[in-house]
Structure 1
């Protein structure tokens, strides 16, 4: 069923890097929910695989001394959803990854695999964009960290250098403290479906809950890679929390989104729902922040 040349089991991060250096054409495999499907379809026939699935050092969520939330790249979707730190500080991420596939996929699939695929429809990606996530990569030259917006290069391609693996996803304290968010996935079915469009919104309200101090609006499937609606964000900062202003912010996202026609939905339909989902997510985020529209 699986046409592979060899499977190497890494014993540590440094061992995984060594194996990738020794086998430069090898593919990293973690949970395998994507790689094994691709192999079964014949897309990776004769592949060499380096498994990092046994590296427990890359699992779990913890808070670093400066308040940064660190999510190990091998942390499964199910564990993210149930993790107390996620639930307390960035619960919207747990809600977003709980929409990935079915229970079996969420138990085996990892957030590192979801982001390293580079696909714009990944449910975790738009929410991580909305949290200003930082990607940690470890390779022969050491550790480097880069904003998630710089990690995604083009459709299906991310900034992973030779013999490098993603080891963590970081969300800084200033990126989550005081913010509340909401993620909406629009799909043809309620479960086991790829998003037609995903919209993740975070808001930080003024102390009296009357104004938008900050807004972050991120999308999946609104372009070739996950993206932020920066013009809409700029248009909303400082505005009063009103129905009229939420309409204005939602309409402004068309200055940023660049969806395409596909068999799932037309460009025009995606443009329409990009506005609708933004407005709905904004209202929910405001309510979660203690405000009212």
Structure 2
């Protein structure tokens, strides 16, 4: 049973903004994979809904003349995974959202909903953080661009004002060109489960030198967490066994996860160093870094 007060179907972003202002307690819905569950559980009983599913300008993926990738907030996960732009330019994002729930959820869930929900376990979020993504937000004819690192305010809280509609996720060209990425999700089950801990690593490697690296965790802090101290420690360094060990140790001292029924703080800290190391290793493989004769990466890490 779904206790919904009113349901409004917006055809444009301006109409959606106007409806949200006219009905201050209303919530946006597209696929409904999060909102409808909360309504059914009674957590949002009696809520009015503004549906944005039919707003075509919020769907699909395009590349602008300057190389920036624009991902419509209403684009479903399965579309993102299969899209040729994603596969060619930022395949790690497609791989990440392909780990959301099951096929049914990936066919209705949208990247906009995944981000605006404010959950630190969201599978798309660590990767868009590592790509320094920007969010396009409109409100009755006006628009603003918000860096995603400024969007998360706390657990389940994001920087949206009354009437705001997030329309696009923007990946600037300079943030992905020449970079490789890998996402690892650790969960209690291998499928259809939210992350106990997740990590997305994006790196630029030239001649075995780690020129740039971005490391973002989900479920390691109250908001998605960029490990900037570790990033600075590693930049400009040659890829070696010692670098991976320093990465592992630094990560464990930098994150601050919580205890929960899914995993203890100590367990999350322990596995954090391991999955970050494995994710960076995978980006190095994608960049063509040869294995050192003295260090068998595959034997050391196992299957990545």
Gap regions ≥5 residues in structure 2 = 292-304
Of the structure 1 ranges 167-176 and 248-257, higher mean CA displacement relative to structure 2 is found in 248-257
Gap regions ≥5 residues in structure 1 = none
Which whole-Å CA distance do the structure 2 matches of 1:54 and 1:230 have between them? 39
Q: Which residue does the alignment assign to 1:17? A: 17
Query: Following TM superposition, by how much is the alpha carbon of 1:292 offset from its aligned partner in structure 2, in angstroms?
Result: 2.7
Q: Which residue does the alignment assign to 1:185? A: 185
Number of corresponding residues = 291
Residue correspondence of structure 1 range 1-293 to structure 2 within 5 A: 1-140=1-140, 142-206=142-206, 208=207, 210-293=208-291
**Could you give the per-residue CA deviations for residues 142-171 of structure 1, whole angstroms, max 9, x where no partner exists?**
111111110000000000011101100000
* TM-score after normalising by structure 1: 0.98
The 8 Å contact of residues 14 and 141 in structure 2, kept in 1 or not, is answered as no
> What SS is found at the alignment partner of 2:237?
coil
> What SS is found at the alignment partner of 1:123?
coil
> Over aligned residues, Cα RMSD in angstroms?
0.9
> What SS is found at the alignment partner of 1:276?
helix
Of the structure 1 ranges 250-259 and 179-188, higher mean CA displacement relative to structure 2 is found in 250-259
Query: Following TM superposition, by how much is the alpha carbon of 1:89 offset from its aligned partner in structure 2, in angstroms?
Result: 0.7
The 8 Å contact of residues 136 and 146 in structure 1, kept in 2 or not, is answered as yes
> What SS is found at the alignment partner of 1:262?
coil
The 8 Å contact of residues 13 and 140 in structure 2, kept in 1 or not, is answered as no
Segments of 4+ moved more than 2 angstroms: none
The 8 Å contact of residues 241 and 292 in structure 1, kept in 2 or not, is answered as no
**Could you give the per-residue CA deviations for residues 170-216 of structure 1, whole angstroms, max 9, x where no partner exists?**
0000000000010000001010101010010011012x2x1100011
Which whole-Å CA distance do the structure 2 matches of 1:88 and 1:247 have between them? 31
Which whole-Å CA distance do the structure 2 matches of 1:248 and 1:123 have between them? 26
Which whole-Å CA distance do the structure 1 matches of 2:253 and 2:59 have between them? 38
Query: Following TM superposition, by how much is the alpha carbon of 1:141 offset from its aligned partner in structure 2, in angstroms?
Result: 6.3
